[in-house]
Amino acid sequence: TFTPRVFSGIKPSGGLTLGNYLGAIKRFVGMQGQMETIYCVVDLHAITVWQDPKELAHATREVAAGYLAAGLDPTQSILFNQSRVSQHAELAWIFNCVARVGWMNRMTQFKDKAGANAEKVSLGLYAYPSLMAADILLYHATHVPVGEDQKQHVELTRDIANKFNHDYKIDFFPETIPVIDGPATRVMNLRDGTKKMSKSGESDMERINMRDDADTIAKKFKKSKSDQDVLPETVEGLKDRPEARNLVDIYAALSDTTPDAVIADYAGAGWGRFKPALADLAVAKLAPISDEMTRLMDDPAEIDRILADGADRARAIAAPILAQTYEIVGL
């Protein structure tokens, strides 16, 4: 039996979005205090696509600042960046030798990201899920809060753990549970209700950044794609209205309620009423976090100190698990 332990992470590959906040950070904060929590800035994942070195260092601190500003407490959670705990890369290599090429070929996120360009992307982008399995299993983590887009990768993590346990005839790695709950596990982009909101999306108008100012947030929601209808009497009425559904889900997640409750309040409302209310709500929730991020970013040495301390504590868990893995494998 394994002690309940949470692991998750975010890539420092651009500014944090409302998708990262609702799908990840807010839920990370919710799990803090309930069990042991380890949250990483996954910089080794970021470099699977080109990152400007100076911007990468800045983005790493910014994700850490986002964690802290949203309420992660370094005395309650371990906060660190991945590259500072070299055991991640070491275990990933072992998992590259456990995972099968056929498994990787089924990863839909790789297909989406590589597109028609699959011959030209980095080998790291292809092996990404194996590094993610290492991130999780290096801590024998049992619970991984993620957005819907990461579900397949957490399932692959289970496949790798099972194959390792089976091949070496030992019950060493746990079966990790993906924790995907609440109304905002797949926040869609504001211009195309069928694509996920992402840091690396093409246009800034399609996403809300955690650090957008109030006017920008209002403008983006105002211009967001919607439809001609008013809001329905029940959530069933949102079926086949993906853009409307997305805006209602965002409202529900930001206000800690359910889409049903939002619809109960806004049944019959037009977009001219709903969108400004949504923008006000988003500003009320994001502005204090954004202000605190700005304050924290003024003192990068303090962020680095928190991350270095977190890396020491992460290493203290990771090193013995990697050492045991080496022994099991015969290395």
Q: Using CB under 6 A, which of 56, 96, 124, 149 touches ligand ADP?
A: 149
- Residue 199 annotated in ligand binding: yes
State in angstroms the smallest separation of the CB of 174 from ligand ADP.
Answer: 19
Tell me: does residue 224 bind ligand ADP (CB under 6 A): no
Residue entry with tokens 């100012």: 213
As a whole number of angstroms, the distance between CA 14 and CA 80 comes to 18
275 assigned to active site: no
169 assigned to active site: no
Q: What residues between 28 and 87 interact with ligand ADP by CB under 6 A?
A: none
Tell me: does residue 146 bind ligand ADP (CB under 6 A): yes
- From start to end of the chain, where are the E strands? 5-10, 36-41, 77-81, 143-145, 177-179
- DSSP 8-state class, residue 177: E
Tell me: does residue 198 bind ligand ADP (CB under 6 A): yes
Tell me: does residue 159 bind ligand ADP (CB under 6 A): no
CB nearer ligand ADP, residue 148 or residue 302:
148
As a whole number of angstroms, the distance between CA 227 and CA 274 comes to 12
Determine the Cα angle at 107 with ends 104 and 109, to 5°: 135
HSE, CB side, 13 Å, CA atoms: give it for residue 89: 10
Are residues 173 and 324 in contact, defined by beta-carbon separation less than 8 angstroms? no
Q: Using CB under 6 A, which of 5, 7, 13, 29 touches ligand ADP?
A: 13
User: For residue 168, which amino acid is it?
Assistant: Y
Q: What residues between 243 and 262 interact with ligand ADP by CB under 6 A?
A: none
Question: In a 3-state reduction of DSSP, which class is residue 179?
Answer: strand
Q: What residues between 163 and 192 interact with ligand ADP by CB under 6 A?
A: 184-187
Q: Which helix (H) or strand (E) holds 222?
A: helix 214-223
Phi and psi at residue 247, to the nearest 5°: -65, -35
State in angstroms the smallest separation of the CB of 34 from ligand ADP.
Answer: 18
Of 54, 111, 113, 275, the catalytic one is: 113
Binding site feature residues for L-tryptophan: 135
- Catalytic residue set: 113, 196, 199
Which residues define the annotated binding site for ATP? 11-13, 19-20, 147-149, 187, 196-200
Binding site for ligand ADP (CB under 6 A): 10-11, 13, 17, 19-20, 23-24, 146-147, 149-150, 184-187, 196-200
